[in-house]
Amino acid sequence: MREPGGEGSGTGSLLHRGRAAGELAWQAQPAAVAGSLVVVLLMGTAPVATAWLTKLVLDGLAGDGGRSVLLPLAAALGVAGLALVVLPHVSEYLTGQLHRGLQRLIYDRLFRAVNADPGLSRFENPSFHDELRLAHEAGQNAPQQIVGSSLAICQGLLTLLGFMATLTVLSPVMVVIVIAAALPSARVQLALSRRRARTMWGISSNTRRQIFFSALLTSPDAAKEVRLFGLGDFLRTRMLTELKTVNEAERDLDRRTLRSQGLLSLLGAAVAAGGLFWAVLAATAGGLSVGDVSVFVAAVAGVQTALTSIVGQWASAHNALLMFGHYLGVVQADPGLPVPAEPTALPPLREGIELRDVWFRYDDEHPWVLRGVDLFIPHGQAVALVGLNGAGKSTLVKLLCRLYDPVRGSIHWDGVDLRDMRPADLRERIGVVFQDYMSYDLTAGENIMLGDLAAGADPELVRTAARRAGIHDTLADLPKGYDTLLSRIFFGDDEDQQAGVVLSGGQWQRLALARALMRHHRDLLILDEPSSGLDAEAEHAVHLGLRRHRAGRTSVLISHRLGALREADLIVVLSEGKIAERGSHRELVALGGEYARLFALQASGYEPTSAVPAEGSMEDSAEESMSTAAPGPRPAMG
């Protein structure tokens, strides 16, 4: 369910959020906060002092004030004027310092919190992405806005009190009128602020989609298909449609703001004009001096400006507090995957990993992907998972890595439930390459080193992993060897700013394999389609190497090329979320079931007499051939 992080949400009251923002500011930049407070004090009192000094100078000039009185007053007026000119620049510098310090601290906390979630579910929830986008946006300026507005409110209050005292001396009625005229403004501003926060939440998905379509239009990964399928106009139109929705919502808000503020400004101007009229009448009747009129005019303008500023700043702070709720919502959220308070220590694998009646679906509304899987992966053995597309193979390995928890049933590491251990401890013992591996816009060496940051500091270990994955020679021949940047969107950091190098799909896959092999000594090695993009020779070499390397180690291997799996100690056929068959290659072929059918189908592709399917039969067999993945097994190699 999509819930905005409004005032009543679990992220606390506005006061709580304000305190949190203040604490963050103090931790980030105590000197800038203290300096800003001093500046606020000076800037808040300077306008009142200026108005009074002006009155005294004018009265001195109109009366018989001597040089001895007027000169110090003029000097003081000069100092006050100077302060009013210089202090805004000091304030701007301090605000900048505070902004930079806060932003660093805020993003540090935000991304720490995002990283602290060991599971994947939250990342697959659109509401989380809406919240994250607003949290990110709030991180850019909400706490800064809250602190800045609070300081501005303090400054406004100082000025307001000074001018109100002044007005009270001259016309107490005027104080009441000016304040009464400001009250509707306060109500309207707060209502607008709430509406703005609701609108931002409402258009969050549209904004994300607009960013998504813009990114597709410029992404080097998408550029090929966008051009070949002529998708440019289609994506641009979709992007503009989302932008139109965003713009319309913002325009409605701006119109509402314009209407309300226009009326309120008229009211303020009418009050100021009425006050001036009264002051002139009182002066002509001899009730006020010239200086009194000047300080009265300054006081009415000062009270109105201060009130407008206070109300405006409060509305901005209010809006920022509502937005800041999204930030706190993400930072204070419980992890999607529970982490035990007292985790069980995770010893090296001795017996094996057991799935006990594991049921899993990605969401309550989604169909079951795994339906009661019982499987034992013995220590030191290679287990292969086979099945059609969507059978649940990758899901099963994601559960083994505890990226999700089973909905029913459990998974045990030497008898210990994975839920009772720290996910980070578990992952320390696992090496994985997924079929949808990452390609990082970093150097070749860094792309491998990421597999084990600690061990990756040793270049020899990186090279060994690359040799095992059969990519060493390719990388060594790159312009800067392992230091070559593999990127199409960045230049290298070095002086010559050389453009990055582009690898082929199979080369990237070997690099991903090398990354996983940085963890070759881990207890469990999971290889999900490690060779789907390799040429026949490379696949043969990689599988030979892997088999040698896996000997005596626990591994789980997924491949649609059944020839690559035939040496596995145990082959498990998954079908519609259940284990349909299990046994060695020989046993399963003898069984004559699904595995035997798939294996025969793939092997037939290599028969010289293999017939071209008759017209029409392509569609029938399309789904099967998709799942068995061309170009099929190489039984001779297996």
Residues that bind ligand ATP (CB under 6 A): 124, 362, 366, 369, 387, 389-395, 435
Beta bridge partners of 385: 558, 572
Closer CB to ligand ATP, 93 or 368, in the complex: 368
| Distance of closest approach, residue 260 Cβ to ligand ATP, in angstroms | 45
The CA distance from 528 to 360, in Å, is 19
List C-alpha distances in Å: 8 to 15, 204, 509.
12, 19, 49
The CA distance from 36 to 31, in Å, is 8
Q: Among candidates 316, 327, 318, 12, which has minimal Cα distance to 140?
A: 327
| Distance of closest approach, residue 374 Cβ to ligand ATP, in angstroms | 18
- State the burial class of residue 335 (Cβ atoms within 10 Å of its Cβ: 0-12, 13-18, 19+): middle
Q: What count of Cα atoms within 13 Å lies in the side-chain half-sphere of residue 297? A: 15
Closer CB to ligand ATP, 391 or 571, in the complex: 391
CB 468 within 8 A of CB 545: yes
Closer CB to ligand ATP, 158 or 527, in the complex: 527
Closer CB to ligand ATP, 73 or 370, in the complex: 370
Q: Among candidates 109, 188, 102, which has minimal Cα distance to 147?
A: 102
Closer CB to ligand ATP, 394 or 487, in the complex: 394
H or E segment and range at residue 355 = strand 352-360
Q: Which residue has the tokens 């490379």?
A: 538
Share of the chain residues as helix, strand and coil, in percent rounded to the nearest 5 = 65, 10, 25
The CA distance from 561 to 582, in Å, is 17
Closer CB to ligand ATP, 154 or 396, in the complex: 396
Closer CB to ligand ATP, 393 or 566, in the complex: 393
| Distance of closest approach, residue 403 Cβ to ligand ATP, in angstroms | 9
Question: Chain-centre distance of CA 633, in angstroms?
Answer: 42
| Distance of closest approach, residue 386 Cβ to ligand ATP, in angstroms | 9
CB 631 within 8 A of CB 605: yes
Sign, Cα dihedral of 94, 100, 103, 108:
negative
Name the CA radius of gyration of the chain, rounded: 35
Closer CB to ligand ATP, 391 or 448, in the complex: 391
CB 322 within 8 A of CB 193: yes
AA identity, residue 110? L
- State the burial class of residue 343 (Cβ atoms within 10 Å of its Cβ: 0-12, 13-18, 19+): middle
AA identity, residue 116? A
Closer CB to ligand ATP, 233 or 365, in the complex: 365
Query: What's the DSSP call for residue 378?
Result: E
| Distance of closest approach, residue 225 Cβ to ligand ATP, in angstroms | 20
Sign, Cα dihedral of 489, 492, 498, 501:
negative
| Distance of closest approach, residue 400 Cβ to ligand ATP, in angstroms | 12
| Distance of closest approach, residue 47 Cβ to ligand ATP, in angstroms | 60
Closer CB to ligand ATP, 132 or 400, in the complex: 400
CB 46 within 8 A of CB 80: yes
Closer CB to ligand ATP, 315 or 573, in the complex: 573
CB 62 within 8 A of CB 289: yes
| Distance of closest approach, residue 471 Cβ to ligand ATP, in angstroms | 23
Closer CB to ligand ATP, 11 or 395, in the complex: 395
| Distance of closest approach, residue 362 Cβ to ligand ATP, in angstroms | 3
| Distance of closest approach, residue 238 Cβ to ligand ATP, in angstroms | 23
| Distance of closest approach, residue 363 Cβ to ligand ATP, in angstroms | 7
Closer CB to ligand ATP, 94 or 391, in the complex: 391
List C-alpha distances in Å: 589 to 382, 560, 638.
18, 16, 14
* Total residues belonging to the chain: 638
| Distance of closest approach, residue 360 Cβ to ligand ATP, in angstroms | 9
* DSSP string across 163-207: HHHHHHHH-HHHHHHHHHHHHHHHHHHHHHHHHHHHHHHHTHHHH
Question: Chain-centre distance of CA 22, in angstroms?
Answer: 23
Laid out side by side, the sheet with 352-360 consists of: 370-378, 352-360, 408-413, 416-417
3-state SS track over 28-51: HCHHHHHHHHHHHHHHHHHHHHHH
H or E segment and range at residue 376 = strand 370-378
Closer CB to ligand ATP, 64 or 365, in the complex: 365
3-state SS track over 454-467: CHHHCHHHHHHHHH
| Distance of closest approach, residue 387 Cβ to ligand ATP, in angstroms | 5
Closer CB to ligand ATP, 98 or 396, in the complex: 396
Closer CB to ligand ATP, 102 or 397, in the complex: 397
